[in-house]
Amino acid sequence: MLYQQETGQISTELILLIAGIMIIVILASTIYKEYLLDWSNEINNTEVQNIKNKLDNISSILKK
User: pLDDT digits over 16-50, tens only?
Assistant: 999 999 999 999 888 888 777 777 666 667 777 88
Domain with 18, as residue range(s), is 1-31
Same domain as 23, residue 5: yes
On the question of pLDDT at 15 being above 90, the answer is: yes
Same domain as 50, residue 38: yes
On the question of pLDDT at 53 being above 80, the answer is: yes
Q: What is the pLDDT of residue 48?
A: 76
Same domain as 41, residue 25: no
Position with higher pLDDT, 47 vs 57: 57
Same domain as 26, residue 1: yes
On the question of pLDDT at 62 being above 80, the answer is: yes
Q: Is the pTM of this model over 0.75?
A: no
In order, the DSSP letters of 14-60 are HHHHHHHHHHHHHHHHHHTHHHHHHHHHHHHHHHHHHHHHHHHHHHH
Same domain as 49, residue 22: no
Same domain as 39, residue 64: yes
Same domain as 46, residue 26: no
